[in-house]
């Protein structure tokens, strides 16, 4: 069995009195896409920073691509990673192509190889026609695609994506998803954080849900949905303060959030009593999703 790309054991990170990551253990297997999910402040980005050698663990052990995390190994680990950060970090004074070829020089990639690789990646992210464009002329979607291309310039063993499609319109987001799926098919290991539950469901082989620095659930998306939510969800919009008695019990789990009552249905739920209970009410019935899992586990309340 191949060595895992990331092995974390009893990993913790503290900033003064605040515990950002609290004694967690996990693995990222070679060739898989693992998604880290959690509310704001859950510890996702701190984990990414430790994996990418930006932050030093307070306690526990962390091995990345076969190298124990230490100051002595930072350069070796970084050379084998591709990283797309949350924040746009392109050089505004350079063209699209130069952002790639100059970045390639940081990895001591020969100029001719850098030019060839840059051309291939611009085609891969559909930016060939913008090769001479300056960064300030690009749309937000073009910039994110260029950051993905730049992260691949050194042919990394693992790609780290921290909120890769935040702020993108649906068309660009789905283009980025297609490119990430093609990288998965090539066997690239991917570590992903995202607030888009559909993104995690579309891309990840396995999901880890983190809250307040601790792992609260782990598994493939379909298994997590079935375990924590069920097969379907009914959303009932209530105008009155009182919940109808017919919905207070049944072959479902219920949860009220504001003026919406959620009914979580298992696969064996009979339609007859359900439809009788819903008669005359304003409701929507749909398949359960990873977002339902996320809200069930972490709550519906706002996190700042």
What mean pLDDT comes out for the span 206-219?
Answer: 96
pLDDT of residue 269: 62
What's the CA angle centered on 41, arms 40 and 44, to 5 degrees?
90
Domain ranges, ordered by start, for the chain: 6-225, 230-287
Per-residue pLDDT at 213 exceeds 90: yes
235-275 pLDDT per residue, tens: 998 876 666 767 766 778 888 888 888 888 877 666 777 88
Report the predicted TM-score, pTM, of the whole model to 2 decimal places: 0.91
What mean pLDDT comes out for the span 119-141?
Answer: 95
Residue 218: pLDDT band by 50, 70, 90 thresholds?
very high
For residues 239 and 204, the model is more confident at 204
Distances (CA, A) of 176 to 145, 166, 168, 171: 7, 11, 10, 9
Measured between alpha carbons, how far is 123 from 125 in angstroms, rounded to an integer? 6
pLDDT of residue 300: 60
State the average pLDDT for the chain: 91
pLDDT of residue 303: 53
pLDDT of residue 109: 95
Query: What are the strands of the beta sheet with 33-37, ordered from one edge?
Result: 81-84, 158-162, 189-193, 33-37, 206-211, 214-219
What mean pLDDT comes out for the span 125-140?
Answer: 94
Looking at the chain, list the stretches that DSSP marks H as alpha helix, in order from N- to C-terminal side: 44-51, 74-79, 96-105, 111-124, 140-151, 170-185, 197-203, 221-228, 271-278, 290-298
Measured between alpha carbons, how far is 114 from 2 in angstroms, rounded to an integer? 30
Measured between alpha carbons, how far is 145 from 140 in angstroms, rounded to an integer? 9
For residues 273 and 152, the model is more confident at 152
State the CATH architecture for 6-225: 3-Layer(aba) Sandwich (3.40)
Measured between alpha carbons, how far is 88 from 94 in angstroms, rounded to an integer? 14
């Amino acid at each position: 069995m191949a060595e895992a790309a990331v092995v974390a054991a009893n990993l913790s990170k503290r900033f003064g009195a605040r515990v950002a990551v609290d004694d967690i253990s996990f693995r990222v297997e070679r060739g898989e896409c693992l998604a880290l999910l959690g509310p704001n402040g859950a510890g996702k980005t701190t984990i990414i920073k430790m994996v990418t050698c930006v932050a030093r663990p307070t306690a526990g052990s962390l091995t990345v691509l076969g190298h124990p995390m230490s100051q002595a190994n930072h350069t070796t680990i970084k050379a084998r990673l591709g990283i797309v950060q949350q924040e746009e970090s392109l050089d505004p004074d350079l063209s699209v192509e130069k952002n790639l070829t100059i970045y390639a020089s940081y990895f001591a990639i020969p100029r001719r190889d850098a030019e060839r690789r840059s051309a291939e990646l611009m085609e891969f992210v559909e930016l060939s026609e913008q090769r001479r464009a300056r960064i300030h002329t690009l749309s937000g979607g073009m910039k994110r695609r260029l950051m993905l291309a730049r992260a691949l310039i050194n042919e990394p063993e693992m790609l780290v994506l921290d909120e890769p499609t935040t702020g993108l319109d649906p068309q660009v987001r789905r283009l980025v998803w297609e490119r990430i799926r093609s990288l998965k098919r090539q066997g690239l290991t991917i570590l992903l954080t995202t607030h888009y539950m559909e993104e995690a469901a579309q891309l990840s082989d396995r999901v880890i849900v983190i809250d307040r620095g601790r792992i609260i659930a782990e598994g493939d998306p379909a298994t997590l949905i079935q375990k924590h939510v069920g097969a379907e969800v009914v959303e009932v919009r209530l105008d009155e303060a009182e919940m109808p008695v017919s919905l207070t019990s049944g072959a479902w789990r219920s949860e009220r959030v504001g003026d919406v009552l959620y009914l979580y249905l298992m696969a064996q739920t009979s339609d007859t009593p359900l439809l009788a209970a819903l008669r005359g009410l304003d409701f929507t019935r749909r398949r359960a999703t990873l977002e339902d899992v996320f809200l069930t586990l972490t709550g519906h309340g706002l996190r700042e």
